[in-house]
Structure 1
Protein backbone atom coordinates (compact mmCIF):
# COMPACT_ATOMS: atom_id res chain seq x y z
CA UNK A 1 0.00 0.00 0.00
CA UNK A 2 1.23 3.49 -0.87
CA UNK A 3 2.28 5.60 2.13
CA UNK A 4 1.31 9.22 2.68
CA UNK A 5 2.89 11.72 0.33
CA UNK A 6 3.53 15.27 1.48
CA UNK A 7 4.06 18.36 -0.66
CA UNK A 8 5.70 21.68 0.06
CA UNK A 9 3.74 24.90 0.27
CA UNK A 10 3.98 26.71 -3.09
CA UNK A 11 6.40 29.62 -2.83
CA UNK A 12 5.90 33.14 -4.15
CA UNK A 13 3.65 36.13 -3.54
CA UNK A 14 0.84 34.87 -5.73
CA UNK A 15 -1.82 36.97 -7.42
CA UNK A 16 -4.04 39.44 -5.59
CA UNK A 17 -7.65 38.36 -5.85
CA UNK A 18 -9.91 40.81 -7.63
CA UNK A 19 -12.93 39.56 -5.68
CA UNK A 20 -12.92 38.65 -2.01
CA UNK A 21 -12.81 34.90 -1.33
CA UNK A 22 -16.13 33.35 -0.40
CA UNK A 23 -17.02 30.51 1.91
CA UNK A 24 -18.75 27.42 0.57
CA UNK A 25 -22.52 27.81 0.32
CA UNK A 26 -25.19 25.15 0.11
CA UNK A 27 -28.05 27.57 -0.49
CA UNK A 28 -30.18 27.44 -3.62
CA UNK A 29 -28.58 28.63 -6.85
CA UNK A 30 -30.50 31.91 -6.88
CA UNK A 31 -29.43 32.86 -3.36
CA UNK A 32 -27.24 36.01 -3.24
CA UNK A 33 -24.48 34.08 -1.43
CA UNK A 34 -24.40 31.52 -4.25
CA UNK A 35 -24.37 34.23 -6.90
CA UNK A 36 -21.45 36.04 -5.24
CA UNK A 37 -19.63 32.73 -4.80
CA UNK A 38 -19.97 31.89 -8.49
CA UNK A 39 -18.78 35.35 -9.49
CA UNK A 40 -15.71 34.99 -7.26
CA UNK A 41 -14.91 31.49 -8.55
CA UNK A 42 -15.27 32.43 -12.20
CA UNK A 43 -13.17 35.57 -11.78
CA UNK A 44 -10.43 33.70 -9.88
CA UNK A 45 -10.34 30.91 -12.45
CA UNK A 46 -9.80 33.53 -15.13
CA UNK A 47 -7.08 35.17 -13.03
CA UNK A 48 -5.02 32.00 -12.54
CA UNK A 49 -5.62 30.48 -15.99
CA UNK A 50 -2.33 31.77 -17.50
CA UNK A 51 -0.36 30.23 -14.61
CA UNK A 52 -1.93 26.75 -14.71
CA UNK A 53 0.60 23.97 -15.13
CA UNK A 54 0.52 20.48 -16.60
CA UNK A 55 1.12 17.49 -14.38
CA UNK A 56 0.57 17.35 -10.60
CA UNK A 57 -0.06 20.81 -9.21
CA UNK A 58 -0.73 22.66 -5.97
CA UNK A 59 -3.15 25.43 -5.06
CA UNK A 60 -2.50 28.04 -2.37
CA UNK A 61 -5.15 30.45 -1.12
CA UNK A 62 -4.20 33.10 1.46
CA UNK A 63 -7.35 34.70 2.87
CA UNK A 64 -7.10 38.25 4.20
CA UNK A 65 -9.51 39.12 7.01
CA UNK A 66 -10.21 42.58 8.46
CA UNK A 67 -8.12 43.75 11.39
CA UNK A 68 -10.07 43.19 14.57
CA UNK A 69 -11.76 40.02 13.40
CA UNK A 70 -10.72 37.02 15.47
CA UNK A 71 -8.58 34.62 13.46
CA UNK A 72 -9.41 31.54 15.50
CA UNK A 73 -13.20 31.81 15.47
CA UNK A 74 -15.23 30.62 12.47
CA UNK A 75 -14.06 31.40 8.88
CA UNK A 76 -13.12 27.71 8.56
CA UNK A 77 -10.32 27.28 6.05
CA UNK A 78 -11.66 24.10 4.47
CA UNK A 79 -14.83 26.04 3.61
CA UNK A 80 -12.70 28.62 1.80
CA UNK A 81 -10.52 26.06 0.04
CA UNK A 82 -13.23 23.61 -1.01
CA UNK A 83 -15.22 25.71 -3.52
CA UNK A 84 -12.11 27.05 -5.27
CA UNK A 85 -10.42 23.64 -5.42
CA UNK A 86 -13.65 22.13 -6.75
CA UNK A 87 -14.02 24.83 -9.39
CA UNK A 88 -10.40 24.54 -10.56
CA UNK A 89 -10.08 20.82 -9.97
CA UNK A 90 -8.43 18.48 -12.38
CA UNK A 91 -7.22 14.93 -11.88
CA UNK A 92 -3.75 16.36 -11.27
CA UNK A 93 -4.59 18.53 -8.23
CA UNK A 94 -2.38 16.96 -5.54
CA UNK A 95 -2.01 19.58 -2.82
CA UNK A 96 -4.09 22.45 -1.45
CA UNK A 97 -2.88 25.03 1.05
CA UNK A 98 -5.03 27.67 2.71
CA UNK A 99 -4.22 30.29 5.35
CA UNK A 100 -6.00 33.19 7.01
CA UNK A 101 -4.44 36.30 8.46
CA UNK A 102 -5.21 39.97 8.98
CA UNK A 103 -4.64 41.66 5.61
CA UNK A 104 -6.31 44.05 3.18
CA UNK A 105 -5.94 41.63 0.28
CA UNK A 106 -6.21 37.92 -0.43
CA UNK A 107 -3.90 36.02 -2.75
CA UNK A 108 -3.93 32.86 -4.86
CA UNK A 109 -1.11 30.83 -6.35
CA UNK A 110 -0.93 27.73 -8.54
CA UNK A 111 2.32 25.83 -9.11
CA UNK A 112 3.81 22.43 -9.80
CA UNK A 113 4.10 20.24 -6.71
CA UNK A 114 7.35 19.46 -4.93
CA UNK A 115 7.55 16.65 -2.42
CA UNK A 116 8.42 17.48 1.19
CA UNK A 117 9.47 15.47 4.24
CA UNK A 118 6.71 14.15 6.46
CA UNK A 119 5.80 16.47 9.36
CA UNK A 120 6.52 15.47 12.93
CA UNK A 121 4.00 13.75 15.21
CA UNK A 122 1.69 12.16 12.66
CA UNK A 123 -1.30 9.91 13.26
CA UNK A 124 -2.38 7.39 10.61
CA UNK A 125 -5.63 5.46 10.24
CA UNK A 126 -7.05 3.31 7.47
CA UNK A 127 -10.78 3.88 7.10
CA UNK A 128 -13.20 1.31 5.73
CA UNK A 129 -16.49 3.20 6.06
CA UNK A 130 -18.18 5.55 3.60
CA UNK A 131 -17.02 9.11 4.22
CA UNK A 132 -20.56 10.48 4.62
CA UNK A 133 -21.22 8.22 7.62
CA UNK A 134 -20.52 8.66 11.31
CA UNK A 135 -18.60 5.37 11.16
CA UNK A 136 -15.95 7.10 9.01
CA UNK A 137 -15.62 9.93 11.53
CA UNK A 138 -15.44 7.46 14.40
CA UNK A 139 -12.55 5.67 12.72
CA UNK A 140 -10.70 8.97 12.18
CA UNK A 141 -11.29 10.09 15.76
CA UNK A 142 -10.07 6.75 17.09
CA UNK A 143 -6.86 7.26 15.14
CA UNK A 144 -6.07 10.53 16.96
CA UNK A 145 -7.67 9.66 20.31
CA UNK A 146 -4.28 9.37 22.01
CA UNK A 147 -3.32 12.93 21.06
CA UNK A 148 -3.38 15.77 23.56
CA UNK A 149 -5.54 18.77 22.72
CA UNK A 150 -3.45 21.53 21.18
CA UNK A 151 -3.13 24.49 23.58
CA UNK A 152 -5.36 27.50 22.99
CA UNK A 153 -4.50 29.52 19.88
CA UNK A 154 -4.03 29.02 16.19
CA UNK A 155 -3.40 25.57 14.73
CA UNK A 156 -1.38 24.38 11.76
CA UNK A 157 -2.93 21.25 10.30
CA UNK A 158 -1.82 18.98 7.47
CA UNK A 159 -3.72 15.93 6.27
CA UNK A 160 -2.39 13.48 3.68
CA UNK A 161 -4.90 11.16 2.03
CA UNK A 162 -4.20 7.98 0.10
CA UNK A 163 -7.22 7.00 -1.98
CA UNK A 164 -8.31 4.62 -4.70
CA UNK A 165 -8.60 5.92 -8.27
CA UNK A 166 -12.37 6.44 -8.07
CA UNK A 167 -12.35 8.64 -4.96
CA UNK A 168 -12.98 12.38 -5.00
CA UNK A 169 -10.56 13.31 -2.24
CA UNK A 170 -12.00 16.81 -1.84
CA UNK A 171 -15.14 15.29 -0.33
CA UNK A 172 -13.02 13.74 2.43
CA UNK A 173 -11.85 17.06 3.87
CA UNK A 174 -14.84 18.08 5.94
CA UNK A 175 -15.72 14.73 7.56
CA UNK A 176 -12.07 14.17 8.41
CA UNK A 177 -11.66 17.57 10.07
CA UNK A 178 -15.02 17.13 11.85
CA UNK A 179 -13.50 14.10 13.62
CA UNK A 180 -10.40 15.89 14.95
CA UNK A 181 -11.89 17.15 18.21
CA UNK A 182 -9.22 15.30 20.29
CA UNK A 183 -6.69 17.69 18.72
CA UNK A 184 -8.82 20.82 18.27
CA UNK A 185 -11.25 20.62 21.17
CA UNK A 186 -15.05 20.61 20.97
CA UNK A 187 -17.34 23.59 20.60
CA UNK A 188 -19.59 21.85 23.16
CA UNK A 189 -18.74 18.88 25.32
CA UNK A 190 -22.00 17.10 24.47
CA UNK A 191 -21.85 17.69 20.70
CA UNK A 192 -20.11 15.27 18.36
CA UNK A 193 -18.44 16.26 15.09
CA UNK A 194 -18.26 19.99 15.85
CA UNK A 195 -14.61 20.67 16.69
CA UNK A 196 -13.13 24.12 17.12
CA UNK A 197 -11.91 24.07 13.52
CA UNK A 198 -11.97 27.85 13.28
CA UNK A 199 -8.67 27.54 15.19
CA UNK A 200 -7.00 26.25 12.02
CA UNK A 201 -5.14 29.21 10.53
CA UNK A 202 -2.78 27.19 8.32
CA UNK A 203 -4.12 24.18 6.42
CA UNK A 204 -2.34 21.81 4.05
CA UNK A 205 -4.13 18.95 2.27
CA UNK A 206 -2.43 16.34 0.08
CA UNK A 207 -3.38 13.25 -1.90
CA UNK A 208 -1.81 10.22 -3.47
CA UNK A 209 -3.58 7.45 -5.38
CA UNK A 210 -3.12 3.73 -4.75
CA UNK A 211 -4.88 1.68 -7.46
CA UNK A 212 -5.17 -1.30 -5.10
CA UNK A 213 -6.77 0.51 -2.18
CA UNK A 214 -10.36 0.14 -3.37
CA UNK A 215 -12.83 2.19 -1.31
CA UNK A 216 -10.64 2.37 1.78
CA UNK A 217 -8.84 5.61 2.62
CA UNK A 218 -5.57 6.02 4.49
CA UNK A 219 -5.51 9.29 6.40
CA UNK A 220 -2.40 10.74 8.05
CA UNK A 221 -2.79 13.81 10.27
CA UNK A 222 -0.17 16.21 11.61
CA UNK A 223 -1.14 19.19 13.76
CA UNK A 224 0.42 21.65 16.17
CA UNK A 225 0.23 25.21 17.45
CA UNK A 226 1.09 28.09 15.17
CA UNK A 227 2.35 31.46 16.37
CA UNK A 228 0.78 34.62 14.97
CA UNK A 229 3.16 37.23 13.60
Structure 2
Protein backbone atom coordinates (compact mmCIF):
# COMPACT_ATOMS: atom_id res chain seq x y z
CA UNK A 1 0.00 0.00 0.00
CA UNK A 2 1.22 3.51 -0.82
CA UNK A 3 2.29 5.21 2.41
CA UNK A 4 1.62 8.73 3.64
CA UNK A 5 4.25 11.41 3.99
CA UNK A 6 4.43 13.42 7.17
CA UNK A 7 5.62 16.99 7.60
CA UNK A 8 6.95 18.89 10.60
CA UNK A 9 5.23 21.86 12.11
CA UNK A 10 7.34 24.88 11.06
CA UNK A 11 9.14 26.84 13.74
CA UNK A 12 8.37 30.51 14.21
CA UNK A 13 5.62 32.74 15.55
CA UNK A 14 4.20 33.82 12.20
CA UNK A 15 1.93 36.84 11.87
CA UNK A 16 -0.81 38.11 14.16
CA UNK A 17 -4.18 38.03 12.43
CA UNK A 18 -5.90 41.38 12.03
CA UNK A 19 -9.35 39.75 12.04
CA UNK A 20 -10.52 36.89 14.21
CA UNK A 21 -10.53 33.47 12.52
CA UNK A 22 -13.93 32.36 11.28
CA UNK A 23 -15.42 28.90 11.06
CA UNK A 24 -16.54 27.50 7.72
CA UNK A 25 -20.09 28.48 6.83
CA UNK A 26 -22.48 26.90 4.37
CA UNK A 27 -25.15 29.57 4.72
CA UNK A 28 -26.31 31.68 1.79
CA UNK A 29 -23.86 34.24 0.44
CA UNK A 30 -25.66 37.20 2.02
CA UNK A 31 -25.74 35.68 5.49
CA UNK A 32 -23.75 37.75 8.05
CA UNK A 33 -21.56 34.74 8.88
CA UNK A 34 -20.62 34.39 5.21
CA UNK A 35 -19.90 38.10 4.90
CA UNK A 36 -17.63 38.07 7.96
CA UNK A 37 -15.92 34.90 6.73
CA UNK A 38 -15.15 36.47 3.33
CA UNK A 39 -13.80 39.61 5.01
CA UNK A 40 -11.54 37.55 7.27
CA UNK A 41 -10.26 35.39 4.41
CA UNK A 42 -9.49 38.35 2.16
CA UNK A 43 -7.70 40.23 4.93
CA UNK A 44 -5.66 37.17 5.91
CA UNK A 45 -4.73 36.40 2.30
CA UNK A 46 -3.55 40.02 1.94
CA UNK A 47 -1.58 39.74 5.18
CA UNK A 48 0.16 36.56 4.02
CA UNK A 49 0.79 37.62 0.43
CA UNK A 50 4.40 38.83 0.96
CA UNK A 51 5.30 35.62 2.82
CA UNK A 52 3.69 33.08 0.49
CA UNK A 53 5.91 30.28 -0.79
CA UNK A 54 6.19 30.86 -4.53
CA UNK A 55 7.46 27.45 -5.59
CA UNK A 56 7.68 24.01 -4.04
CA UNK A 57 5.64 22.25 -1.34
CA UNK A 58 4.59 24.40 1.59
CA UNK A 59 2.90 24.26 4.99
CA UNK A 60 0.18 26.43 6.51
CA UNK A 61 -0.15 26.96 10.28
CA UNK A 62 -3.19 28.56 11.92
CA UNK A 63 -3.17 29.05 15.69
CA UNK A 64 -6.63 30.07 16.90
CA UNK A 65 -6.85 32.13 20.08
CA UNK A 66 -10.04 31.69 22.12
CA UNK A 67 -11.28 33.69 25.15
CA UNK A 68 -10.15 32.48 28.59
CA UNK A 69 -13.66 31.35 29.58
CA UNK A 70 -14.17 29.21 26.48
CA UNK A 71 -14.04 25.43 26.89
CA UNK A 72 -11.25 24.31 24.56
CA UNK A 73 -12.64 20.80 24.09
CA UNK A 74 -16.22 21.77 23.24
CA UNK A 75 -17.06 22.66 19.63
CA UNK A 76 -14.86 25.19 17.71
CA UNK A 77 -13.81 22.25 15.50
CA UNK A 78 -10.35 22.83 14.05
CA UNK A 79 -11.06 21.38 10.61
CA UNK A 80 -13.78 24.02 10.25
CA UNK A 81 -11.18 26.73 10.96
CA UNK A 82 -8.54 25.21 8.68
CA UNK A 83 -10.75 24.43 5.69
CA UNK A 84 -11.81 27.94 4.58
CA UNK A 85 -8.31 29.42 4.89
CA UNK A 86 -6.62 26.51 3.12
CA UNK A 87 -9.10 26.70 0.24
CA UNK A 88 -8.90 30.51 0.03
CA UNK A 89 -5.13 30.40 -0.35
CA UNK A 90 -3.80 28.69 -3.45
CA UNK A 91 -3.85 24.98 -2.67
CA UNK A 92 -1.28 24.05 -5.32
CA UNK A 93 1.71 22.51 -3.54
CA UNK A 94 0.04 22.86 -0.11
CA UNK A 95 1.07 19.55 1.49
CA UNK A 96 0.57 20.17 5.20
CA UNK A 97 -1.85 22.16 7.36
CA UNK A 98 -1.47 22.59 11.10
CA UNK A 99 -4.24 24.10 13.21
CA UNK A 100 -4.40 24.54 16.98
CA UNK A 101 -6.65 26.28 19.48
CA UNK A 102 -5.66 27.70 22.83
CA UNK A 103 -6.62 30.45 25.25
CA UNK A 104 -5.04 33.61 23.88
CA UNK A 105 -5.95 37.21 23.06
CA UNK A 106 -4.69 36.89 19.48
CA UNK A 107 -4.52 34.34 16.68
CA UNK A 108 -1.53 33.75 14.43
CA UNK A 109 -0.82 32.41 10.96
CA UNK A 110 2.36 31.17 9.32
CA UNK A 111 3.43 29.83 5.94
CA UNK A 112 6.72 28.02 5.39
CA UNK A 113 8.44 25.57 3.08
CA UNK A 114 7.41 21.99 3.89
CA UNK A 115 9.89 19.85 5.80
CA UNK A 116 9.30 16.09 5.67
CA UNK A 117 9.66 14.27 8.98
CA UNK A 118 9.33 10.80 10.49
CA UNK A 119 5.92 9.19 10.79
CA UNK A 120 4.16 9.07 14.17
CA UNK A 121 4.89 5.94 16.19
CA UNK A 122 1.36 4.48 16.07
CA UNK A 123 -0.69 4.71 12.88
CA UNK A 124 -3.94 3.21 11.62
CA UNK A 125 -4.10 3.01 7.81
CA UNK A 126 -6.89 2.20 5.37
CA UNK A 127 -7.29 2.36 1.60
CA UNK A 128 -10.77 3.68 0.84
CA UNK A 129 -12.64 2.87 -2.36
CA UNK A 130 -15.95 4.67 -1.79
CA UNK A 131 -16.99 8.23 -2.61
CA UNK A 132 -16.32 10.60 0.26
CA UNK A 133 -19.94 11.77 -0.02
CA UNK A 134 -21.23 8.37 1.05
CA UNK A 135 -21.72 6.49 4.29
CA UNK A 136 -19.51 3.74 2.86
CA UNK A 137 -16.45 6.04 2.97
CA UNK A 138 -16.99 6.78 6.65
CA UNK A 139 -17.55 3.10 7.39
CA UNK A 140 -14.22 2.26 5.76
CA UNK A 141 -12.45 4.91 7.85
CA UNK A 142 -14.14 3.74 11.04
CA UNK A 143 -13.12 0.14 10.31
CA UNK A 144 -9.46 1.18 10.46
CA UNK A 145 -9.79 2.38 14.08
CA UNK A 146 -12.59 0.09 15.28
CA UNK A 147 -10.21 -1.90 17.48
CA UNK A 148 -8.67 1.20 19.08
CA UNK A 149 -9.40 2.30 22.63
CA UNK A 150 -11.09 5.64 23.11
CA UNK A 151 -8.56 8.31 24.08
CA UNK A 152 -8.90 9.36 27.73
CA UNK A 153 -11.04 12.48 28.33
CA UNK A 154 -9.32 15.76 27.53
CA UNK A 155 -7.63 17.41 24.56
CA UNK A 156 -6.45 15.32 21.62
CA UNK A 157 -3.71 15.67 19.03
CA UNK A 158 -4.74 14.24 15.66
CA UNK A 159 -2.67 13.79 12.50
CA UNK A 160 -4.15 12.60 9.22
CA UNK A 161 -1.91 11.62 6.32
CA UNK A 162 -3.60 11.29 2.92
CA UNK A 163 -2.36 9.72 -0.28
CA UNK A 164 -4.51 10.80 -3.23
CA UNK A 165 -4.60 10.70 -7.00
CA UNK A 166 -3.71 13.82 -9.02
CA UNK A 167 -7.33 14.93 -9.52
CA UNK A 168 -8.42 14.67 -5.89
CA UNK A 169 -9.23 17.77 -3.81
CA UNK A 170 -7.79 16.63 -0.51
CA UNK A 171 -9.37 19.39 1.60
CA UNK A 172 -12.79 17.84 0.94
CA UNK A 173 -11.61 14.67 2.72
CA UNK A 174 -11.02 16.26 6.11
CA UNK A 175 -14.53 16.46 7.50
CA UNK A 176 -15.86 13.03 6.48
CA UNK A 177 -12.67 11.41 7.79
CA UNK A 178 -12.93 13.07 11.21
CA UNK A 179 -16.66 12.30 11.36
CA UNK A 180 -15.76 8.59 11.36
CA UNK A 181 -13.29 8.70 14.25
CA UNK A 182 -15.72 8.16 17.12
CA UNK A 183 -13.88 4.99 18.28
CA UNK A 184 -10.94 7.28 19.13
CA UNK A 185 -12.78 10.46 20.14
CA UNK A 186 -16.02 9.15 21.61
CA UNK A 187 -19.55 9.97 20.47
CA UNK A 188 -21.59 13.03 21.34
CA UNK A 189 -24.55 10.62 21.68
CA UNK A 190 -24.46 6.83 21.73
CA UNK A 191 -27.33 6.55 19.25
CA UNK A 192 -25.91 9.04 16.74
CA UNK A 193 -23.48 7.99 14.02
CA UNK A 194 -20.83 10.29 12.54
CA UNK A 195 -20.92 12.88 15.33
CA UNK A 196 -17.73 12.32 17.33
CA UNK A 197 -16.49 14.58 20.09
CA UNK A 198 -14.19 16.32 17.62
CA UNK A 199 -14.14 19.52 19.65
CA UNK A 200 -11.61 17.58 21.74
CA UNK A 201 -9.05 18.02 18.97
CA UNK A 202 -6.90 20.97 20.06
CA UNK A 203 -3.94 20.13 17.80
CA UNK A 204 -4.69 19.04 14.24
CA UNK A 205 -2.23 18.25 11.46
CA UNK A 206 -3.23 17.29 7.92
CA UNK A 207 -0.77 16.05 5.30
CA UNK A 208 -1.05 14.95 1.68
CA UNK A 209 1.04 13.07 -0.88
CA UNK A 210 -0.02 12.71 -4.51
CA UNK A 211 0.42 9.32 -6.14
CA UNK A 212 -0.06 9.47 -9.89
CA UNK A 213 -1.12 5.80 -9.98
CA UNK A 214 -3.76 5.87 -7.27
CA UNK A 215 -6.83 6.82 -9.29
CA UNK A 216 -9.95 7.53 -7.22
CA UNK A 217 -8.95 5.54 -4.13
CA UNK A 218 -7.65 7.38 -1.06
CA UNK A 219 -5.17 6.02 1.46
CA UNK A 220 -5.73 7.52 4.92
CA UNK A 221 -3.30 7.17 7.82
CA UNK A 222 -4.50 8.19 11.28
CA UNK A 223 -2.43 9.01 14.38
CA UNK A 224 -4.09 10.24 17.56
CA UNK A 225 -2.96 10.73 21.15
CA UNK A 226 -3.63 12.93 24.17
CA UNK A 227 -2.53 16.48 23.38
CA UNK A 228 0.16 18.42 25.20
CA UNK A 229 -0.83 21.33 27.41
CA UNK A 230 -1.93 24.44 25.59
CA UNK A 231 1.29 26.32 26.39
CA UNK A 232 3.35 23.72 24.52
CA UNK A 233 0.93 23.58 21.58
CA UNK A 234 1.81 27.07 20.39
Question: Under TM normalisation by the shorter chain, which class is it?
Answer: over 0.9
1:17 aligns with 2:2: no
- 2:227 corresponds to: 226
Quote how far apart the aligned CAs of 1:11 are: 1.0
The TM-score with structure 2 as length reference comes to: 0.97
Provide, for residues 93-151 of structure 1, a one-character-per-residue CA deviation record: whole Å limited to 9, x for no partner: 00000000000000000000000100011000000000010000000000011110000
Q: How does 1:157-196 map to 2 (within 5 A)?
A: 157-196=158-197
Quote how far apart the aligned CAs of 1:17 are: 0.1
The TM-score with structure 1 as length reference comes to: 0.99
Alignment size in residue pairs: 229
Equivalent pair of 2:2/2:219 in contact (CA under 8 Å)? no
Q: Distance in 2 between matches of 1:205 and 1:91?
A: 15
Provide, for residues 18-68 of structure 1, a one-character-per-residue CA deviation record: whole Å limited to 9, x for no partner: 000000000000000000000000000000010011210000000000001
Runs of 5+ unmatched residues, structure 1: none
- 2:144 corresponds to: 143
RMSD: 0.7
- 1:42 corresponds to: 42
Q: Which runs of 4+ in 1 moved over 4 A?
A: none
Q: Distance in 2 between matches of 1:120 and 1:89?
A: 31
